[in-house]
Structure 1
Amino acid sequence: MEPELEIKKDVKTELRHDSAVNAVLLLVFWAIYFGAAFSLPVLLKKLTGTVDTNLEALLFYIVLYPIGFSLIFIINKILYKGKREVKIFECFRKPVTSPGWTAKWIFLTIGATYSAALLSSLIFMIIEFVTHSKLSEADMSSDNSLLGNLVVMIAAPVFAPIFEELFFRGTLYRNVRSHSTTGMMVICGITFGLWHGNYPQFLFASVMGFFSCFLFEKTKSIIPSMIVHFIINTIGSCLTLLISSVGLTQADITTADSYDLMFEHPFVFLILFAMGMCVIAALVTWLIFFIIEIAYYKDSFIIEQKNPEISEKKKVWIYLSSPLMALVMLGMLGYTVFRALGGNV
């Protein structure tokens, strides 16, 4: 066999292997997710005679994040034992890029994420209008109790930036980045979007996932993407607590009755209006910076392409056509659609 063909064969074999490893890790996550979702209510009822939803949520996130993801990292290390040295804490190295460049791209990533969120809202608003249907969103509100607020402020702003970044950028993307960059950044971004299982989050989480992989690739550190994740989730959690403080949910302020609610809770809506204006101003600033970056700093977008003998499209197909990965991706897509149509698991 010719040397070039031999290299291509080796790359394809390794990529299929790494795709299968990532699929196993995602399956382990979903096993923990559904296992905790179904077993915790039963366990709490047996122990206490009732089910406190806030306590259930707190235990769920503890099982899912510190315990579940730690187990996944161990499994990943075992699967690569003897083949590749896996050191998860290498992700916390100091960024190799300058502080100015890193800060600029943290801002650009946040702006791209919020732009995608606005686009997503518009797209699904049109879909609901055309189909005369109402899609079901995940309920992320709090009952305004101490424990409920604690759950909101721990799950998204603390657990998610640490463990999700270590999983998606520090593990799944790092497992495959040696084969491809652009293609795997796109795939890992889409995987991150589907993984949320919530249609309003799919597009903006995918965009955030892509740019977070880009940040990781350029800085060789997971710290910048953790900062992005922390800022976005903290803003969302503060918004949830603000709305919940007057007994409302995020769905309440987007319905036809929100006009009446405005007069009942003027202070809350005034803050929401101010936040909206700040977001608009930030997005305009982001657009200006992004255009300047494209026009004058094209080198910022250059990333090393690996294994050029195989096209990026071909590598993406090899990764997704792995039977186990195809099953996982279709399963996550199906779960997202299921929840959008009113399913609640």
Structure 2
Amino acid sequence: MTETPDRRPGWLELGVALIAAVVVYAGGLVLLVAFPAGTPALEGIAQLAFSGLAPLAVFAIVVAVRIRGLRAFGVRRVDPKWLLVAVGLAAACLAVIRTFDVVVARLYPNLDDAQGDLRAASAAGLATLIGTIALGGLLTPLGEELLFRGVIARFLQRWGTWVTVLVSAFVFALWHGISLVFPSAFLVGLVNGWLLCRTRSIWPGVVLHAVYNTSFLLLYAFA
């Protein structure tokens, strides 16, 4: 099937993505609960593996439905300067969220940040730290950007930049749960949605997401 330059995912792809996401994520969560890893560190590794592989599986299902050209999902070359911009924006997002976390920790010192297993995995030793970075710093950003920007945000682009950025960011944050992770995911979603609209490529978002996640995992390891 010939791909036109302005082609993007449609209602069919969105519907398949939603159904596949429910099935894949529900099945994965059942497996995580039924077969616990045994220690917080291994639980963290398992969660990161799931958070990377699940969106990749959903994306693969969506691609197999109708549109074979990956450019329709924002998988296209981009000017390298945008990758540098993404690194700078990742640093800015990190600064904002770190400030937010410090303020919340002072106001609510006993509040659970829902990242205990990831902290344990990052701090358990060199091997687990490498595993957390490979899974949480590389695989998860790739999988989530393909799904949330490549499918959902690209679908929303037919209604303009504001709808694309705000709605895709909210869906992305909501998928991470109502917790202290929500503001972080919403901010990253906003910036990556904007990058997608400016560049028509998911790669700046993947770079930002990877730098952001890896920075937090390193902070967990050495804090």
- Please give the range of the TM-score, normalised by the shorter of the 2 chains: 0.7 to 0.9
- Partner in structure 1 of residue 169 of structure 2: 189
Q: SS at the partner of 1:221?
A: coil
- Partner in structure 1 of residue 6 of structure 2: none
Change (3 A) 1:198 1:110: farther
Q: SS at the partner of 2:177?
A: coil
C-alpha distance in structure 2 between counterparts of 1:193 and 1:210, whole Å: 10
Q: TM-score, normalised by structure 1?
A: 0.51
Offset at 1:148? 3.1
Q: Does 1:28 align with 2:23?
A: yes
Q: SS at the partner of 1:137?
A: coil
Change (3 A) 1:144 1:89: farther
C-alpha distance in structure 1 between counterparts of 2:90 and 2:128, whole Å: 30
Offset at 1:36? 2.7
C-alpha distance in structure 2 between counterparts of 1:146 and 1:104, whole Å: 30
Residue 137 (structure 1) aligned to one of 101, 113, 120: 113
Q: Does 1:118 align with 2:99?
A: yes
**AA at the equivalent of 2:18:** A
Residue 63 (structure 2) aligned to one of 73, 77, 82: 77
Offset at 1:21? 4.4
C-alpha distance in structure 1 between counterparts of 2:17 and 2:106, whole Å: 34
C-alpha distance in structure 1 between counterparts of 2:124 and 2:90, whole Å: 31
- Deviation by residue 1:32-85 (Cα, 9 ceiling, x = unmatched): 3412321222xx7xxxxxx3554454344434423x33321233235x53xxx2
Q: Which sections of structure 1, spanning at least 5 residues, go unmatched? A: 1-13, 45-50, 244-345
- Partner in structure 2 of residue 87 of structure 1: 69
Q: SS at the partner of 1:92?
A: coil
102-111 or 219-228, which moves further after superposition? 102-111
- Partner in structure 2 of residue 9 of structure 1: none
**AA at the equivalent of 1:65:** G
**Which runs of structure 2 are paired with 1:121-270 in the superposition (5 Å)?**
121-122=102-103, 126=107, 128=108, 134-138=110-114, 139=116, 140-142=118-120, 144-197=124-177, 199-243=179-223
Q: Is the 8 A contact 1:113 1:205 kept in 2?
A: no
- Partner in structure 2 of residue 306 of structure 1: none
Offset at 1:147? 4.3
**AA at the equivalent of 1:211:** V
- Partner in structure 1 of residue 32 of structure 2: 37
- Deviation by residue 1:114-150 (Cα, 9 ceiling, x = unmatched): 3255246536755x4xxxx843211132252354323
Q: Is the 8 A contact 2:156 2:163 kept in 1?
A: no
The sequence identity of aligned pairs, in percent, is 20
Which protein is bigger by CA-based radius of gyration?
A: 1
**AA at the equivalent of 1:74:** A
Q: SS at the partner of 2:77?
A: coil
Q: Is the 8 A contact 1:25 1:75 kept in 2?
A: yes
Offset at 1:238? 1.2
**AA at the equivalent of 1:92:** V
Change (3 A) 1:69 1:32: farther
- Deviation by residue 1:302-342 (Cα, 9 ceiling, x = unmatched): xxxxxxxxxxxxxxxxxxxxxxxxxxxxxxxxxxxxxxxxx
Offset at 1:189? 0.5
RMSD (Å), alpha carbons: 3.1
C-alpha distance in structure 1 between counterparts of 2:95 and 2:41, whole Å: 29
Offset at 1:191? 1.6
Aligned residues, how many?
Answer: 209
Q: Is the 8 A contact 1:112 1:207 kept in 2?
A: yes
Q: Is the 8 A contact 1:117 1:201 kept in 2?
A: no
Q: TM-score, normalised by structure 2?
A: 0.75
C-alpha distance in structure 2 between counterparts of 1:111 and 1:163, whole Å: 23
Offset at 1:167? 1.4
C-alpha distance in structure 2 between counterparts of 1:117 and 1:103, whole Å: 21
**AA at the equivalent of 1:104:** V
C-alpha distance in structure 2 between counterparts of 1:146 and 1:18, whole Å: 40
